[in-house]
């Protein structure tokens, strides 16, 4: 059974959820913890000889210390690189939060100390006309780690996302400031504003890296506020 599982959400698509998720896994591996990771739903998959494959899921599969099959890591792989419910519609498939949550629960039965479930896009990504991907962490009752893509506009995106997380009855366990824009003006002022407005701990500031990889990202993350290790 995974002891501590977290849902990794982002302020938007392309803000560094995968980069930070892999960094968090690596930081936990460095502490000697057993780690697991899922990307339950991925759009933008490539056809390979083994079947559809997604870069996010492959990186998480590779970085987690506990090995899962690709289909366990990413049970719903959609080829078109578009909003998942539209990709599913085009393929004549229907996405369902209950089914995705059940698939996650299955993987959560594996023994691990730290588990990451990476979302897709932002918090209210639709699965169908009635459900959004937020229904999955809601059903699983997993605390959330929010990746903030540090760029102009990120403060409002962060506050709206945190409001929605809390409204959904979930706990924000921590957040990460990820520098996706090396030219951002007033980075420090934006960071301080977020720090003063968010109650949850800042788990780290990841600088803009020329060579993004889990080992270097992990150096900027501090898991001590997630209470993973029993003291
Ligand atoms: N700290 C960083 N420094 C440099 N590049 C970064 C950094 N963080 C993210 N990137 C780059 O930004 C892009 C988006 O990052 P990533 O794939 O982690 O976003 P995401 O939120 O997981 O996106 P999706 O919604 O598609 O899952 C990638 O090309 C990644 O390498
Ligand atoms: Mg991703």
Band (pLDDT 50/70/90 cuts) for residue 230 is low
The reply to whether 39 belongs to the active site is: yes
Tell me the per-residue pLDDT of 213-223, one tens digit each, with 9 for 90 and over.
Answer: 999 999 999 99
Q: Are 170 and 141 in contact (CB under 8 A)?
A: yes
3-state SS class at 178: strand
Q: Write down all domains in the chain, each with its CATH number in brackets.
A: 5-226 (3.40.50.300)
Tell me the per-residue pLDDT of 30-89, one tens digit each, with 9 for 90 and over.
Answer: 999 999 999 999 999 999 999 999 999 999 999 999 999 999 999 999 999 999 999 999
pTM of model > 0.95: yes
Tell me the per-residue pLDDT of 157-176, one tens digit each, with 9 for 90 and over.
Answer: 999 999 999 999 999 999 99
Rounded distance, CA 153 to CA 156, Å?
6
| Alpha helices per DSSP H over the chain | 17-30, 55-63, 70-73, 84-90, 97-108, 135-140, 154-167, 187-197, 214-218
Pocket of ligand 1 (CB under 6 A): 10, 13-19, 56, 120-121, 178-180, 206, 208-209, 212
DSSP 91: T
Rounded distance, CA 33 to CA 228, Å?
9
Catalytic, out of 4, 17, 34, 39: 39
């Amino acid at each position: 059974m995974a002891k501590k599982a977290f849902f990794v959400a982002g302020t938007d698509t392309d803000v560094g959820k995968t980069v930070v998720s892999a960094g968090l896994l690596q930081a936990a591996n460095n502490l000697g913890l057993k780690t697991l990771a899922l990307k339950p739903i991925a759009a933008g998959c490539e056809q390979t000889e083994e079947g559809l494959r997604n870069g996010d899921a492959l990186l998480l599969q590779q970085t987690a210390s506990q090995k899962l099959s690709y289909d366990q890591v990413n049970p719903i792989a959609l080829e078109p690189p578009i909003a998942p419910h539209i990709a599913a519609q085009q393929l004549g498939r229907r996405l369902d939060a209950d089914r995705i949550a059940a698939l996650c629960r299955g993987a959560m039965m594996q023994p691990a100390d730290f588990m990451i479930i990476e979302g897709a896009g932002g918090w209210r990504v639709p699965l169908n006309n009635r459900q959004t991907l937020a229904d999955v962490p809601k059903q699983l009752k997993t605390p959330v780690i929010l990746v903030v893509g540090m760029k102009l506009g990120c403060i409002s995106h962060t506050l709206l996302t945190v409001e929605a997380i809390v409204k959904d009855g979930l706990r924000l366990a921590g957040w990460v400031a990820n520098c996706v824009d090396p030219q951002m003006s007033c980075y420090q002022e934006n960071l301080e504003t977020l720090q003063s407005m968010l109650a949850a701990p800042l788990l780290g500031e990841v600088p803009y890296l020329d060579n993004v990889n889990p080992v270097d990202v992990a150096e900027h993350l501090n898991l001590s506020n997630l209470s993973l290790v029993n003291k």
